[in-house]
């Protein structure tokens, strides 16, 4: 195997990736380019590039990728109504292929031999990173230090950092956390025992629902072909929309999830997720579909949501099946346009009204008042015909 001369590293500036940066240099004698993606994680990224250079990187890039992330990854996923195991809105899952795509692009620009990431050998992220690289640049080598080095604990990392003069933050991390504009996830500490309630420190983006305002807040979300385009009449870009909905949802304690999920690598894990803006967006979008999607289209689309969601969760964003499903999902969204009014209150985002120029709701049919369109007597034959199949199935039980 040829010698590795240049590596592009997904670099956060934390202890793990800082240690990885130095370890790559010492292990392979290679040049390391550090890439930090601003995905709306609300962290101060000022000086991250300087820290990478001080640790030994030959180049360091901090890139604002919020709009592209929201427009090309989050919004398509929400058009598909994706939700994993009926609860998780895939905040971490959708970020990994996006970061990996940029790693590949930067590797190509700099004629690098490999890319590297800080995901562990127990988690899903390693799969998501590497399947993306495999899809976009199978010739690039992928280095996953946690699977090959001898360090096994944070104590080992701390000792390595101290030995090589890598600056460490003063505080200790209680949880394993991942944040971007869509969500914030927590794992570890008391969360490793499913019987222990998550403590207050595992929530940052949202207030406790019981401490949310006592008065509800009403908002109106406008959609065009399945995408949220305006809030309370004001046009917003995808990234601006998610940021503003995070503020609103967080203020009302919306979007807290505590769940045990099935990882792709074969184990169950417990996580706490905060997705305030995404939860509001999901509720509004689903409600608008109620009056704009044909019944059979909705039934077919809903049957495919688990497959689409698993594709995202398991790292198959660039797979043929996810791209095929996206085409179908987007076709179904062509008439999902209109406005939804929601009531935000004590942890809930409750749709209370909706309208659309493509509404399939017919008041002349649905009314309880007298109408000239629907002949109620026709229902008798409809019921009898649908009952024939059931009668045949149960004829041996009928006395």
Assign residue 118 a region (left: φ > 0; alpha: ψ between -120 and 50; beta: otherwise).
Answer: alpha
Question: Is pLDDT of 317 > 80?
Answer: yes
Give yes or no: 147 in active site. Answer: no
What tens digit of pLDDT does each residue of 9-68 get? 999 999 999 999 999 999 999 999 999 999 999 888 999 999 999 999 999 999 999 999
Question: What mean pLDDT is predicted for residues 286-312?
Answer: 98
Query: Catalytic one among 61, 66, 79, 96?
Result: 96
| pLDDT value for 58 | 98
**97 Cβ contact partners less than 8 Å away, ≥ 6 residues apart:** 73, 128, 131, 132, 315, 317, 318
Query: Catalytic one among 49, 125, 178, 287?
Result: 125
Q: Which CATH architecture has domain 177-355?
A: Alpha-Beta Complex (3.90)
CA contacts within 13 A on the Cβ side of 227: 19
Give yes or no: 263 in active site. Answer: no
Query: Catalytic one among 16, 49, 178, 227?
Result: 16
Q: Which of 1, 53, 2, 49 is nearest to 25 (CA)?
A: 53
Q: 6-65+92-173 and 177-355: same fold?
A: no
What tens digit of pLDDT does each residue of 182-207 get? 999 999 999 999 999 999 999 999 99
| pLDDT value for 374 | 82
Which comes out higher in pLDDT, residue 173 or 358? 358
| pLDDT value for 2 | 77
| pLDDT value for 159 | 95
Band of pLDDT at residue 171, cut at 50, 70 and 90: low
- How far apart are the C-alpha atoms of 380 and 259, rounded to whole Å? 46
| pLDDT value for 5 | 97
Give bridge partners of residue 240 from the DSSP assignment.
none
Query: Catalytic one among 176, 189, 269, 319?
Result: 176
The whole-chain average pLDDT of the chain stands at 94
Domain boundaries, the chain: 6-65+92-173, 177-355, 366-397
| pLDDT value for 371 | 73
Four-way CATH pick for 6-65+92-173: 3.20.20.100, 3.40.50.620, 2.30.40.10, 3.30.413.10: 3.40.50.620
What tens digit of pLDDT does each residue of 109-127 get? 999 999 999 999 999 999 9
What tens digit of pLDDT does each residue of 362-378 get? 887 777 777 778 888 88
Give bridge partners of residue 245 from the DSSP assignment.
none
What tens digit of pLDDT does each residue of 137-160 get? 999 999 999 999 999 888 899 999
């Amino acid at each position: 195997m040829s010698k590795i001369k240049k590596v592009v590293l997904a670099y956060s500036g934390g202890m793990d990736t800082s240690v990885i940066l130095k370890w790559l240099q010492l292990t392979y004698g290679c040049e390391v380019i550090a890439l930090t993606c601003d995905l709306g994680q609300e962290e101060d990224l000022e000086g991250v590039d300087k820290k990478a250079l001080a640790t030994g990187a030959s180049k360091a890039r901090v890139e604002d990728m919020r709009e592209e992330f929201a427009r090309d990854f989050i919004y398509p996923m929400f058009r598909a109504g994706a939700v994993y195991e009926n609860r998780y809105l895939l905040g971490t899952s959708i970020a990994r292929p996006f970061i990996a795509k940029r790693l590949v692009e930067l590797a190509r620009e700099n004629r690098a031999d490999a890319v590297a990431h800080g995901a562990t050998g127990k988690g899903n992220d390693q799969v998501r990173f590497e399947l993306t690289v495999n899809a976009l640049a199978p010739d690039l080598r992928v280095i996953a230090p946690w699977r090959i080095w001898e360090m096994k604990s944070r104590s080992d990392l701390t000792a390595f950092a101290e030995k090589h003069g890598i600056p460490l933050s003063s505080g200790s991390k209680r949880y394993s956390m991942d944040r971007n504009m869509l969500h914030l996830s927590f794992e570890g500490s008391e969360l490793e025992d499913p019987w222990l309630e998550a403590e207050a420190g595992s929530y940052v983006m949202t207030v406790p629902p019981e401490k949310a305002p006592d008065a509800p807040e009403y908002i109106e979300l406008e959609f065009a072909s399945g995408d949220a385009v305006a809030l309370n009449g004001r046009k917003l870009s995808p990234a601006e929309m998610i940021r503003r909905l995070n503020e609103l949802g967080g203020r009302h304690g919306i979007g807290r999830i505590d769940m045990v999920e099935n990882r792709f690598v074969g184990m169950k894990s417990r996580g706490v997720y905060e997705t305030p803006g995404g939860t509001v967006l999901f509720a509004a979008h689903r409600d608008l579909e109620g009056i704009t999607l044909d019944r059979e289209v909705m039934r077919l689309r809903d049957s495919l949501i688990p497959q689409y969601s698993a594709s995202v969760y398991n790292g198959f964003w660039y797979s043929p099946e996810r791209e095929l499903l996206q085409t179908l999902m987007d076709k179904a969204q062509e008439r999902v346009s209109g406005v939804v009014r929601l009531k935000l209150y004590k942890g809930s985002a409750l749709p209370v009204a909706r309208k659309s120029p493509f509404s399939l709701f017919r008041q002349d049919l649905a009314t309880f008042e007298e109408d000239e369109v629907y002949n109620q007597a026709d229902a008798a034959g409809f019921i009898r015909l649908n009952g024939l199949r059931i009668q045949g199935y149960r004829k041996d039980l009928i006395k």
